[in-house]
């Protein structure tokens, strides 16, 4: 198969079913074949995210406030925001394979598996969104994850540090806080369904961060760098000063973070 051309088509398509088909075919191919770098292949720099045809992109401060989760619209804004994260994560996982062809086959398999998980998460959330009368694209979105992918397009080490080890790991901090806010409203069927979905996503996102952690450490070893370069990269991207009110110590430890890192990120306590 024309592995990289198919990935490019999937990344630029706004059709989730097509992304799913390509992901499945590429994963099956990868599991049976060594994917070789194509002579002269140069990954494209994408000018806009694939969801630009579906969603109106705005600055984060212009996003609708997410509150009043007991009303259909209020709940829809929350589900839509999470659905958008999952959609973005599909393209980021596929791009991690497409953009860095020199990486080992095990790396490619890992991120195709992540893409498959993210597609399942998106479909699960989008079905729930449709149940309450909305669909993906009904609310504005921001392009933060796409922008982060564009900024790290030249370095797989930076990509692993910023996307799984920063943004996805931050999701592990936020997910339990959202579930806590919704817990006293679970008498409402749609909120219970959302809690069930978030529970699945949380467990699987730990595995995604583990994969990012593993490849970050592999790359540090390959490039002869200390793992403390993680904080240099966060500082370079102006992420180190970001306020993190909740650090999920146990989830981050399960995903591969050392206590020294977790404390530096702002946790009050952490024991190995």
Is 62 a residue whose pLDDT tops 90?
no
pLDDT, average across residues 244-269: 94
Query: Residue 161's closest CA among 83, 119, 223, 248?
Result: 223
Mean pLDDT of all residues belonging to the chain: 95
Give the residue numbers spanning the domain of 10: 3-39+63-264
Count of structural domains, the chain: 1
Q: Decide if 124 contacts 195 (C-beta within 8 A).
A: no
- State phi, psi for 155 to the nearest 5 degrees: -145, 115
Confidence of residue 70 (pLDDT cuts 50, 70, 90): confident
- Asked if the structure places residue 44 within a domain, the reply is no
**Is position 46 within any domain?**
no
Please give the Cα distance from 63 to 81 (Å, whole number): 9
**Three-class SS state of 2:** coil
- What is residue 57's three-state secondary structure? strand
Assigned domain for 225 exists: yes
Q: What is the CATH number of the domain that holds 239?
A: 1.20.1260
- If we measure between CA atoms, which residue out of 67, 144, 114 comes closest to residue 213? 114
Give the predicted TM-score (pTM) of the model.
0.96
Look at residue 243 and tell me whether its pLDDT is greater than 80: no
List 57's β-bridge partners, or say none: 141
Looking up tokens 């650090």, which residue turns up?
247
Kindly report, residue by residue over 174-211, the tens digit of the pLDDT. 999 999 999 988 888 999 999 999 999 999 999 999 99
> Where is pLDDT greater, at 161 or 72?
161
In a domain, 160, yes or no: yes
Q: For residue 124, is it within any domain?
A: yes
Query: With bands split at pLDDT 50, 70 and 90, how would you rate the model's confidence at 93?
Result: very high
* Inside any domain, residue 56: no
Candidates 162, 139, 179; CA nearest to 54 is: 139
Does residue 164 surpass a pLDDT of 80? yes
The proportion of the chain whose per-residue pLDDT surpasses 90, expressed as a percent, equals 87
Is residue 67's pLDDT more than 80? no
Residue labelled with tokens 């009303």: 71
> What tokens does 121 get?
């998460």
Q: Which of 52, 45, 124 is nearest to 82 (CA)?
A: 124
Q: Look at residue 228 and tell me if it is in a domain.
A: yes
232: tokens are: 């240099």
- Rounded to whole angstroms, how far apart are CA atoms 202 and 208? 10
Q: Rounded to an integer, what distance in angstroms lies between the CA atom of residue 220 and that of residue 50?
A: 31
Two structure tokens written together for 2? 């024309």
The whole-number pLDDT of residue 105 equals: 96
């Amino acid at each position: 198969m024309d592995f990289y051309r198919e990935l490019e088509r999937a990344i630029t398509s706004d059709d989730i079913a097509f992304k799913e088909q390509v992901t499945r075919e590429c994963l099956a191919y990868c599991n049976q074949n060594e994917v070789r770098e194509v002579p002269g292949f140069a990954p494209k720099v994408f000018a806009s995210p694939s969801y630009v045809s579906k969603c109106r992109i705005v600055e984060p401060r212009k996003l609708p406030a997410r509150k009043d989760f007991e009303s259909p619209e209020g709940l829809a804004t929350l589900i839509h925001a999470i659905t958008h994260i999952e959609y973005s994560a599909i393209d980021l996982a596929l791009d991690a394979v497409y953009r860095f062809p020199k990486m080992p086959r095990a790396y490619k398999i890992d991120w195709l598996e992540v893409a498959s998980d993210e597609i399942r998460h998106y479909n699960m959330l989008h079905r729930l969104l449709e149940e309450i009368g909305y669909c993906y694209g009904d609310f504005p979105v921001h392009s933060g994850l796409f922008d982060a992918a564009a900024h790290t397009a030249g370095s797989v080490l930076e990509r692993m540090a910023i996307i799984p080890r920063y943004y996805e790991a931050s999701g592990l901090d936020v997910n339990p806080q959202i579930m806590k806010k919704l817990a006293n409203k679970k008498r409402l069927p749609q909120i219970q369904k959302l809690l069930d979905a978030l529970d699945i996503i949380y467990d699987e996102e730990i595995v995604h961060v583990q994969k990012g952690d593993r490849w970050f450490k592999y790359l540090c070893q390959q490039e002869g760098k200390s793992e403390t370069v993680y904080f240099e990269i966060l500082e370079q991207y102006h992420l180190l000063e970001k306020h993190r009110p909740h650090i999920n110590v146990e989830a981050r430890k399960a995903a591969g973070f050392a206590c020294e890192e977790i404390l530096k990120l702002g946790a009050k306590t952490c024991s190995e």
